[in-house]
């Protein structure tokens, strides 16, 4: 009896065994490494590329509302670097909505507290600025600013609407350092923005503590610009002034119960301009 020899088209039993893939279990170390990789990438994005920011006050109404949650672009307005030549950079310009560090930190128990603010950029280095009846003029040209709260006989205030005709030294809320520095920046009734500094104002012009109260924002204080509103929830302005674990838990419960009814759905993914 002749023994049959396997041909090229007839795989041997050994070959069949080798073709079956082996199931390899992921080790705990590999699982931990995968999780860490995701966290590192996420942390990099949130730290250097984009950042979450929530609007705590009404100083930018109606453009931005209390309870708006924004994604902030931290790249475009960052100082240019040689190690990322393909990234688009530009200098801040008129009309930009900007997130920045407040140049004069608030004091809590005698210690300075870092505070992020969001305002609209009104003046760049070299600009001559003044307001008359609430209308902003830059270098002698009145600016069309439809986003700004209009000035009326009922809300008109000389300090806010005729700036800088009234010095901040007489205005409650103005910082002492700005009151002292202020006269050195006045030329022929205009406020002149110095090199490396920017002048910011809130769109809600009569309810905004801005550069009129605490002065210019240094270039290095600018963090980025909001891109879009990824979630907006009806929130009282006093909410972000409250503290305590009990209050935080109660607010989280409120959000969970009213998520569908008090989320401003029309503002979801709304671009910021």
Residue-wise pLDDT tens digits, 46-60 = 444 456 789 999 999
Highest mean pLDDT among 26-40, 65-79, 99-113, 155-169: 155-169
Among 71-80, 130-139, 191-200, 207-216, which is the least confidently predicted range? 71-80
Q: Is the peptide bond before 62 cis (omega within 30 degrees of 0)?
A: yes
DSSP codes, 28-86: HHHHHHHHHHHHHHHHHIIIIIEEEEE--SSTTTTTS-TTEEEEEE-STTSPP-TT-TT
Higher-confidence position of 148 and 22? 148
Question: Residue 199's pLDDT is what?
Answer: 98
The CATH class of the 49-271 domain is mainly beta
User: Chain-wide mean pLDDT for the chain?
Assistant: 84
What radius of gyration, in Å, describes the C-alpha atoms of the chain?
28
**The two structure tokens encoding residue 54:** 């929530």
Q: Is the pLDDT of residue 31 over 60?
A: no
Tell me if 242 sits within 8 A of 252, measured CB to CB. Answer: no
Angle 34-24-18 from CA coordinates, rounded to 5°: 145
Q: Percent of the chain having pLDDT more than 90?
A: 62
H and E: helices and strands count for the chain: 6, 15
Question: Residue 247's pLDDT is what?
Answer: 82
Q: Percent of the chain having pLDDT more than 70?
A: 79
**H helical segments located in 123-175:** 158-161
Question: Residue 175's pLDDT is what?
Answer: 94
DSSP 8-state secondary structure symbol assigned to residue 241 = G
Enter the pTM of the model. Answer: 0.79
pLDDT band at 110 (very low <50, low <70, confident <90, very high): confident
Residue-wise pLDDT tens digits, 157-208 = 999 999 999 999 989 989 999 999 999 999 999 999 999 999 999 999 999 9
- The CB-side HSE value for 232 (13 A sphere, CA atoms) comes to 17
Higher-confidence position of 96 and 50? 96
Question: Residue 49's pLDDT is what?
Answer: 47
Work out the number of other CB atoms within 10 angstroms of the CB of residue 91.
14
Tell me if 225 sits within 8 A of 99, measured CB to CB. Answer: yes
**H helical segments located in the chain:** 13-19, 28-44, 158-161, 176-181, 211-214, 245-262
Distances (CA, A) of 81 to 56, 57, 75, 166: 32, 34, 10, 41
pLDDT band at 45 (very low <50, low <70, confident <90, very high): very low
């Amino acid at each position: 009896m002749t023994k049959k020899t396997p041909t090229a088209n007839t795989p041997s039993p050994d070959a069949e065994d080798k073709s079956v893939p082996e199931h390899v279990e992921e080790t705990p170390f590999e699982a931990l490494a995968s999780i860490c990789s995701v966290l590192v990438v996420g942390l990099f994005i949130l730290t250097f590329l984009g950042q979450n920011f929530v609007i705590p006050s009404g100083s930018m109404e109606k453009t931005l509302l209390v309870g708006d949650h924004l994604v902030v672009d931290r790249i475009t307005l960052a100082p240019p670097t040689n190690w990322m030549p393909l990234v688009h950079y530009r200098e801040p310009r008129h009309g930009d909505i900007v997130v920045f560090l407040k140049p004069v930190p608030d004091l809590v128990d005698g210690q300075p507290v870092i505070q992020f603010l969001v305002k609209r950029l009104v003046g760049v280095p070299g600009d001559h600025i003044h307001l008359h009846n609430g209308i902003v003029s830059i270098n002698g040209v009145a600016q069309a600013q439809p986003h700004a709260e209009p000035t009326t006989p009922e809300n008109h205030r000389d300090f806010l609407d005729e700036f800088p005709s009234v010095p901040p030294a007489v205005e409650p809320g103005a910082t002492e350092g700005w009151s002292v520095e202020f006269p050195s920046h006045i030329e022929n009734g205009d406020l002149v923005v110095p090199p490396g500094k920017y002048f910011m104002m809130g769109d809600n012009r009569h309810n905004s503590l801005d550069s009129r109260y605490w002065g210019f924002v240094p270039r290095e204080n600018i963090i980025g610009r909001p891109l879009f509103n990824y979630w907006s929830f009806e929130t009282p302005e006093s909410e972000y002034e409250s503290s305590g674990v009990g209050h935080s838990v109660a607010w989280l419960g409120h959000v969970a119960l009213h998520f569908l009814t008090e989320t401003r759905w029309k503002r979801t993914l709304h671009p910021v301009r």
